[in-house]
Structure 1
Amino acid sequence: MDCLSPGSPAERVVVMFGSQLGKTEAGLNWVGYVIHHAPGPMLMVQPTVEMAKRYSKQRVGPLIESSPAIRERVKPARSRDSGNTVLSKEFPGGILLMTGANSAVGLSSAPIRYLFMDEVDRFPGDADGEGDPVALAIQRTANFSNRKVLLTSTPTIKGFSRIEAAYAESDQRRFWVPCPECGEFQILEWAQVRWPQGEREKAFYLCPHCGAEIADYQKGAMLENGQWRASAEGDGRTAGFHLSSLYSPHGWTGWGDIAVEHGQVHKDPPRLKVWVNTKLGETWEEDADRIDGEGLLARREDWGALLPLEVAVLTAGVDVQDDRLEVEIVGWGRDEESWSIDYKVLWGDPASPAVWQDLDNLLLHRWPHSRQVPDMAIRAVALDTGGHHTLKAYAFCRARQGRRVWAIKGRGGMGVPIWPRRPSRSNKGKVPLFIVGVDACKEAIISRLRLTEPGPGFLHFPMDRDAEWFSQLTAESVVTRYHKGRPIREWKKKDADRNEALDCRVYAMAALQGLVSMGLRLNRDVARLAEAPLKNAGPASASATTIKPKPQRRVIRSNWM
């Protein structure tokens, strides 16, 4: 915040922090300072326009209302006064504009003196075909010699992280804190966090200089006496700051909390990646080697005709082709360990109703479980509508919304979440359409295929999967292309390869995340299921608690009904 004041020579401030460490709050304080003390045109950019609107209502609005000095300067919101809208706040001598990085119009209009870009690693690679949104926004500050630019973000993938690249151009400041025992200054590093065997919640910090075991409650004094120290010369105009959650004040996130979370995710690469990004504030370096599909044949298992013991939820992914529908039913267990329960290719012209009826019959099927519970039904289905026979796919989903048969459309690119906060209805079918982040799904699936031991995220396959199916599952890999000098990550396959098996798994995984967004707690369901006795355990004792199957409803379909 000192570097953002007019008294600082810094022109650009880069903040590469872990999550929930105050980087956005510092930006909000800067907004208030500009309105009160140094008015001028200001632009705040969020990853999307929707996020900008939500940010305005949840953060900027309360900022204005809570401060009398700011409230008396910002025009009150009135229906006939455009000076105060959701994305525009006027004040004497300036204006605060808010937009999304996905809107080229919002990024390339009036000149701007102050520019605040939040979570830049979540920005799309291109804004409406007009180029990199960061470059478009910075270009708007070119007319001001006293401009200030603030970039904040938790980092993402090494080599593709905007905030990492910007931090590398800065003076690269780190926060040095003294040991309460020996007084030696140091940067807090994850390698120095230790804990008693099996008791991660009791984690402490081991001083590398004197070997003292520093408790979490001692962190306050260390932070109070800490110092920002630059480690590079930089370009002379950019001040860069890096901070991990290890510095989070006592009472917020403790070393024990971070260690416990690491213990939960360290075996599952997709979740470990999030931990590295959000807790350590560091980029994730991925293994770029392509997986050998034939090598996965040795992983096949024979679990019989019943669902495996650990399967608590079933989802399905449906891929629509010109002459067939392909479907995978996936069982999910604790920490998203998964089992490929069934894979069907339903041949037929999707323009006719017959193949859709076959799909409906498959989705209504119930699978017997290894435990004494009712036969398990599919909880959610994600059906791709973005390619072939879109209107037929819409119609199928529209009639089955109550069964959670969801119409989805895949979208690539970094920062696109696996499952959206809400669906879109601006489509010809007038159905809720969920935009699925297929790249995030593929990264998770390919990372988990590299796991060698059952556990969190591990993928199990039955004996009937052949080499062609595994080849489809591993058909795509990440390639890098450059657009106007910026590296873009893309998932590509060879022209002759097929990838339907991977697409179906992506959609089944998206369906699970859709259930999570509705309140599903997978691990809780797994724990409840584990209380049921096994089917092959013999007669239950008089003291044992058994689960009585509920009567199954018959689904009768006829025109008369």
Structure 2
Amino acid sequence: MAVRRGLSPLKTQVPQTAVEWCDEHFFLPEGSSQIPGRWATQPVQKAPLNMMGNDAINIITVQKPTRFGYTKMLCGALWYLGVHKKRSTVVYQPNDALAKDFTVNEINPLLPVVPAIQAAFPDWSLNNENNTVKKKVCTGFSIDIKGAESPNNFRAITKQVVIADELGAFSINGGEGDNIKVLLKRIQGASFGKAIFGSTVVYSGDVIERLMLEADCVFNFHLPCPHCKTMQALEWGDKDSAHGMKWDNSLVGDEAKSQSAHYLCRNIECQSAETKGRIEYRHLSRMEDRGRWICEKTGIWTEDGLSFYNAVGNKVRAPRRVGIKCSALYSLNLTEGWIELVREWLDIKGDPDKLQAFINLTLGLHFDPVNTRRLDHQVLLDRREQYKAQVPNDVVYLTCGGDTQDNRMEGYVWGFTADNRKYMIDRFVCMGDPRDPEVEDAVVEFCARTYTRADGEVIRISRVCWDLAGHRAEVVYKLSKRIGLLRFIPCRGASSYGQPVQTMPMQVNKKTGTYIVQVGTDTAKDIFYADIEVPLNEQRAVHLPLDGRICGEDVCKQLVSEIRKPKKTKQGVVFVYDNEGRRNEALDCFNYALAALQVSIEKFSLDLSSFKTEKNVQMAAAASFADLGKKLGAQ
């Protein structure tokens, strides 16, 4: 037995492609797969999986969506390269914790169910130095699984194959220069060195986009229309697109609309035919059987990832560096087909976070943030309207956002409705040193103001968030203690992007004796800039008063003072807001007023839909303050 095991690396195997090997030997285990059982390579997966195992291809980069089966393909290719070709591999995940998760959730569950792995891995059932979460030592090859955050994990590692999963989350420079160069050093000198890079993507300008630009060919999957046979890559499109994903917008309700989901062929003549160019999800499997992966830059194409042809059909060498782009539109694992993708799209309803998730994860595309162009302030001036009273009838809750400068205190009152519309109600400016008692008294008086709704109800400002960063923070703390710790709350912008609109601690700050709210200013700005473009008669719309004292030209300029600009960081390119030196107090104060609303909703169970009159609001506020000890541990 020992001799047989020692000679097993010399055993001759019938050559197989990655797809052939996986279809014969690979299994999807219970618990880590949606559909457990024997692996069957789907048409959309054949060329990418074969490219992962093709010795002629040195670097393959996959810009992956969800529902593509990439992780399972990666595991199949990993074991194919090891078991069938005796290639040692190092797998990098963004950090050590994710590396461990990859072993526990993806690699280890395969060991008891894949006999081909067991035959090449004598210690598969043991817990010893040959079988750990970081290393698998098999007969004739080994697999290392490491995190990419530590430079030590790149040292003294030489393999035939390097895999970087979720490469977009890696640092661009881990301390030893360009991480791509560092990764490729792991396979330098190998006879059939191969790098497999895969990742979901976020913003343009990331490392995946760079690798795609450096690739010899970037392939998209083109399918023949079942009616006219026109080859085309599936695209989502939009309402103005001549082809792409479509649904019947005349139907009532999102569910009815999503049930009508279909794809419209790009051939105009096909659209004019009896079939109207309508492609159904049931056609997809047969279309993919006849599909081709085509590089639109070079015209080179392949059907199986093994043989490559130029635009006129002559066979050519396989490209050394390839890129693969795909989307969930090609997935054959959708329970309800394209219906569920359209349902997901209709659920976005202008939410920028949901939109980004759909673009990044479902379509597998980079998300180009909105607000990279400044909105003309004249649009806001023209949008202003004459309110029937100080506060429109449907406003049920008032908050205030305030800003402290060296020479003034400034605040804006915003009203909110049950359906999330926003009304600018009032503006406060008091010139003078904030430390002067007269200025402080003016802020106190302002926060005590009451307003009359169109129906005659009197409504007051329920909660205030006032910026303390950079200017006279001690004055803001003093005002909080004077007006009320939970009615007037000091706040500051969060130190990192992508934070919630508000994050409030459960106890007062021991140093200041007040609560301090962290405001996700970029998230709040995303909301404002998305909602300012919503028509006035729709939910979420932003309303501005036709009143020069409250909302004149200068205020409108401040509200649209910021745009998103690309910024290089260690993690890649991110888009950050920049006012480019313009005044932005009005926008900042909206952020703080929105944070004050969210504090009320998230910390005091505010339900705007249940408020109809000021009496309800005052009763709810009283109940909230009575419950402070339980809610926030106030002292």
Is 1:382–1:507's contact at 8 Å kept on the other side of the alignment? yes
Match of 1:164 among 204, 209, 215: 209
1:417 aligned residue: 498
2:264 aligned residue: 206
1:96 aligned residue: 145
Is 1:108–1:136's contact at 8 Å kept on the other side of the alignment? no
CA distance in structure 1 between the partners assigned to 2:620 and 2:202 by the alignment:
51
Task: Spell out, residue by residue over 1:16-51, the C-alpha distance to the aligned partner (whole angstroms, 9 max, x if none).
Answer: 344454445555666777898754443212xxx6xx
The one-letter code matched in structure 1 to 2:558 is Q
| Higher mean C-alpha displacement, 454-463 vs 305-314 | 305-314
The one-letter code matched in structure 2 to 1:205 is Y
How far 1:268 sits from its partner (Å)? 7.1
2:247 aligned residue: 195
CA distance in structure 2 between the partners assigned to 1:391 and 1:263 by the alignment:
47
CA distance in structure 2 between the partners assigned to 1:503 and 1:153 by the alignment:
33
1:543 aligned residue: none
How far 1:148 sits from its partner (Å)? 1.4
Correspondence 1:109-508 to 2 at 5 A = 111=157, 114-118=162-166, 120=168, 135-136=178-179, 138-145=181-188, 146-157=193-204, 160-170=205-215, 171-181=217-227, 184-190=230-236, 191-199=243-251, 200-201=257-258, 202-209=260-267, 210-211=270-271, 212=275, 213-223=278-288, 226-233=291-298, 236-249=319-332, 251-252=334-335, 254-263=337-346, 265=348, 272=355, 275-284=358-367, 288-305=372-389, 307-308=391-392, 311=395, 316-322=400-406, 324-332=408-416, 337-345=421-429, 378=462, 384=467, 386-388=469-471, 405=489, 407-411=491-495, 416-419=497-500, 438-439=521-522, 441-442=524-525, 445-446=528-529, 448-449=531-532, 454-455=537-538, 457-462=540-545, 463=547, 464-479=550-565, 489-495=575-581, 497-508=582-593
- Cα gap change, 1:195 to 1:149, in 2 (>3 Å): closer
Is 2:67–2:333's contact at 8 Å kept on the other side of the alignment? no
- Cα gap change, 1:389 to 1:29, in 2 (>3 Å): farther
- Cα gap change, 1:422 to 1:224, in 2 (>3 Å): farther
CA distance in structure 2 between the partners assigned to 1:453 and 1:196 by the alignment:
25
CA distance in structure 2 between the partners assigned to 1:43 and 1:335 by the alignment:
47
Identity of aligned residues (%): 21
- Cα gap change, 1:319 to 1:197, in 2 (>3 Å): same
Is 2:91–2:165's contact at 8 Å kept on the other side of the alignment? no
CA distance in structure 1 between the partners assigned to 2:330 and 2:64 by the alignment:
10
CA distance in structure 1 between the partners assigned to 2:478 and 2:146 by the alignment:
41
- Cα gap change, 1:373 to 1:409, in 2 (>3 Å): same
How far 1:154 sits from its partner (Å)? 3.4
- Cα gap change, 1:107 to 1:292, in 2 (>3 Å): farther
- Cα gap change, 1:410 to 1:331, in 2 (>3 Å): same
- Cα gap change, 1:422 to 1:32, in 2 (>3 Å): farther
How far 1:152 sits from its partner (Å)? 1.2
| Higher mean C-alpha displacement, 357-366 vs 107-116 | 357-366
CA distance in structure 1 between the partners assigned to 2:593 and 2:515 by the alignment:
18
- Cα gap change, 1:307 to 1:39, in 2 (>3 Å): farther
SS at match of 1:472: helix
| Higher mean C-alpha displacement, 510-519 vs 195-204 | 510-519
Task: Spell out, residue by residue over 1:383-426, the C-alpha distance to the aligned partner (whole angstroms, 9 max, x if none).
Answer: 555534567768988998877958543346xxx3142998899x
How far 1:150 sits from its partner (Å)? 0.9
How far 1:106 sits from its partner (Å)? 7.5
- Cα gap change, 1:6 to 1:21, in 2 (>3 Å): closer
The one-letter code matched in structure 1 to 2:245 is V
Task: Spell out, residue by residue over 1:439-481, the C-alpha distance to the aligned partner (whole angstroms, 9 max, x if none).
Answer: 4544554455455655355322123212222222223334567
Is 2:397–2:617's contact at 8 Å kept on the other side of the alignment? no
Is 1:89–1:97's contact at 8 Å kept on the other side of the alignment? yes
How far 1:76 sits from its partner (Å)? 6.1
SS at match of 2:544: strand
Is 2:500–2:523's contact at 8 Å kept on the other side of the alignment? no
CA distance in structure 2 between the partners assigned to 1:250 and 1:38 by the alignment:
31
Q: Normalization by structure 2: what TM-score?
A: 0.61
CA distance in structure 2 between the partners assigned to 1:236 and 1:514 by the alignment:
56
Q: Normalization by structure 1: what TM-score?
A: 0.68
- Cα gap change, 1:502 to 1:186, in 2 (>3 Å): same
User: Root-mean-square deviation (CA), in Å?
Assistant: 5.4
How far 1:339 sits from its partner (Å)? 2.4
Is 1:411–1:436's contact at 8 Å kept on the other side of the alignment? no
2:58 aligned residue: 11
The one-letter code matched in structure 2 to 1:238 is R
How far 1:242 sits from its partner (Å)? 1.7
SS at match of 2:223: strand
Is 1:410–1:435's contact at 8 Å kept on the other side of the alignment? yes
SS at match of 1:2: helix
**Gap regions ≥5 residues in structure 2:** 1-47, 237-242, 252-256, 301-317, 629-634
The one-letter code matched in structure 2 to 1:118 is E
Task: Spell out, residue by residue over 1:484-518, the C-alpha distance to the aligned partner (whole angstroms, 9 max, x if none).
Answer: 9x8775543454x3222222233445666778888
CA distance in structure 2 between the partners assigned to 1:25 and 1:398 by the alignment:
58
- Cα gap change, 1:232 to 1:326, in 2 (>3 Å): same
Question: Quick check: which has more Rg, 1 or 2?
Answer: 2
How many residues get paired? Answer: 512
Task: Spell out, residue by residue over 1:333-379, the C-alpha distance to the aligned partner (whole angstroms, 9 max, x if none).
Answer: 58854322344346676679997897688778887766899958757
CA distance in structure 1 between the partners assigned to 2:604 and 2:331 by the alignment:
29
How far 1:308 sits from its partner (Å)? 3.9
- Cα gap change, 1:418 to 1:147, in 2 (>3 Å): same
**Gap regions ≥5 residues in structure 1:** 536-545
How far 1:217 sits from its partner (Å)? 3.8
CA distance in structure 1 between the partners assigned to 2:620 and 2:521 by the alignment:
38
- Cα gap change, 1:246 to 1:311, in 2 (>3 Å): farther
Is 1:74–1:90's contact at 8 Å kept on the other side of the alignment? no
The one-letter code matched in structure 1 to 2:235 is E
How far 1:429 sits from its partner (Å)? 5.5
Is 2:396–2:617's contact at 8 Å kept on the other side of the alignment? no
CA distance in structure 1 between the partners assigned to 2:199 and 2:503 by the alignment:
26
2:91 aligned residue: 42
Is 1:268–1:456's contact at 8 Å kept on the other side of the alignment? no
Task: Spell out, residue by residue over 1:85-141, the C-alpha distance to the aligned partner (whole angstroms, 9 max, x if none).
Answer: xxx7344345322255xxx75787665752424162x677x769x699xx3354243
